């Protein structure tokens, strides 16, 4: 389960940001996870308490936003939600597509006071 390791690195990154910006308290951490990334949101939520224990984030809420897996049809240029359409372009029916989003993983927001 690599989610714990990821969260521990995020904690380091957020704490460094907090120190550099003289943040007193972190209220919420918002992560964006692509729906076809290798990161499983449910696991992130499960291991979050262990990852933030003893850190500045120990009382911070975790919010996760799922980024859709979008594709671009290489035949007609249409962009579409690839997982909803089963990888088939809704305009021309082609399966010739390129994934353009959905593998991402970002720290979107750090809410602090």
Q: Is 32 helix (H, G, I), strand (E, B) or coil?
A: strand
Annotated binding-site positions = 2, 73, 76, 89, 92
Q: Which domain holds residue 77?
A: 1-112
Q: How confident is the model at residue 44 (pLDDT cuts 50, 70, 90)?
A: very high
- Percentages (nearest 5) of helix, strand, coil residues in the chain: 25, 30, 40
- The total number of structural domains in the chain stands at 1
> What's the pTM value of the predicted model, to 2 decimals?
0.87
CATH of the domain at 65: 3.30.2320.80
pLDDT for 1 beyond 60: no
Q: List residues forming the annotated binding site for Zn(2+).
A: 73, 76, 89, 92
pLDDT in tens, 48-72: 999 999 999 999 999 999 999 999 9
- Considering the chain, what is the average pLDDT of its residues? 95
């Amino acid at each position: 389960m690599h989610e714990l390791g990821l969260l521990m690195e995020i904690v380091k990154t957020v704490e460094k940001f907090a120190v550099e910006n003289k943040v007193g308290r972190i209220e919420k951490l918002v992560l964006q996870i692509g729906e076809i990334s290798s990161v499983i949101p449910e696991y992130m939520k499960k291991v979050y308490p262990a990852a933030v224990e003893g850190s500045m984030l120990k009382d911070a809420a975790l919010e996760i936003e799922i980024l859709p897996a979008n594709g671009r049809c290489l035949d007609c240029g249409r962009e579409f939600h690839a997982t909803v359409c089963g990888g088939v372009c809704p305009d021309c029916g082609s399966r010739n597509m390129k994934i353009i989003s959905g593998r991402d993983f970002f720290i979107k927001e750090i809410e602090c006071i």
